[in-house]
Homo-oligomer: A and B are copies of this chain.
């Protein structure tokens, strides 16, 4: 009998942000597949096989999960955050479309999770409280020119923005170029939020005016949120918070 592949979002880091639906899927799994640090978040137990793999082998990992499902296993592919946001869900469907035709028989289910930008937004206040965009700043899988085009259009539309994968060791310059473009295009001191390792013991939230932002404020564990022209700061009993109002006047 064919098994199934469940692509599950573990949220940004804290167990308290994992949905009960995902916890139940992990409890019923025979196999866990994913990037090493995410598989490490799943507690081992008898009868559960863990299959951690390195970064950048998403299609191989997806194929492995689909093969095990064809063998009758109940495979959970784990992603950080939400599996549908710059994560494993698209990779699995891509494998199904282009790989072994038998994979089209596998039952595939996607379980949503708390995505990094919304966990970060909650910590900062409500910067995504009006229309917003989410942009992956990695140019591993798309041309840099397309990233720049999208940044310019998002500024023109006065969207708030969330940037995933702003910076990595293999792409040291991209984020600096993006910041330069954004500073010129926005030309104001709207807040930019660097949210690192949200909901983990290493969490750091750093809010600065856009002109003061530097590339070193982001690393591989950071999601970056940029306000719209309307985003502002407000004082609360827990310190300053940043929010984007619901209204834009005529």
Q: Give chain B nearest CB distance to A240 CB in angstroms.
A: 10
A45 within 8 A of partner (CB): no
Taking a contact as CB atoms under 8 Å apart, the answer to whether A90 and B21 are in contact is no
Q: Does A122 contact B (CB under 8 A)?
A: yes
With A90-B246, A122-B111, A132-B133 as known contacts, state yes or no: A19 contacts B18, CB within 8 Å: yes
* Interchain CB contact under 8 A, B118 and A112: yes
CB distance from A123 to the nearest CB of B (A): 7
A1-45, CB under 8 A of B: which get 1 and which 0?
010100000010011111111001000000000000000000000
A232, B94: Cα distance in complex, Å? 10
Residues 43-69 (chain A) with a chain B CB within 8 angstroms? 58
**Chain B residue with the shortest CB-CB distance to A142:** B248
Q: Are B245 and A94 in contact (CB under 8 A)?
A: yes
- Interface status of A176 (Cβ within 8 A of chain B): no
Q: Which residues of B contact A122 (CB under 8 A)?
A: 82-84, 89, 110-112
Interface assignment of A157: CB less than 8 Å from any CB of chain B: yes
Question: Which of B2, B24, B246 touches A16 (beta carbons < 8 Å)?
Answer: B24
**Complex CA distance for A82 and B129, rounded to whole angstroms:** 10
Distance A146 CA – B229 CA, assembled complex (angstroms): 14
Considering only CB atoms, which chain B residue lies closest to A3 in the complex?
A: B237
Tell yes or no: A143 within 8 A of B by CB.
yes
Q: Which of B84, B135, B241 contacts A108 (CB 8 A)?
A: B241
Enumerate chain B residues within 8 angstroms of A134, measured Cβ to Cβ.
Answer: 128, 131-134
The yes or no answer to A105 lying at the interface (CB within 8 A) is yes
Whether A74 sits at the interface, judged by CB under 8 Å, is no
A149 contacts which chain B residues (CB < 8 A)?
A: 157
Interchain Cβ contacts under 8 Å between A and B, 16 examples: A17-B20, A20-B20, A83-B122, A86-B246, A87-B129, A89-B126, A89-B129, A93-B126, A94-B243, A97-B234, A104-B236, A106-B237, A115-B118, A131-B133, A133-B154, A141-B248
Give the B-binding residues of A (Cβ under 8 A).
2, 4, 11, 14-21, 24, 58, 82-87, 89-94, 96-97, 104-115, 118-119, 121-123, 125-136, 141-143, 146, 149-150, 153-154, 156-157, 159, 232, 234-238, 241, 243-248, 250
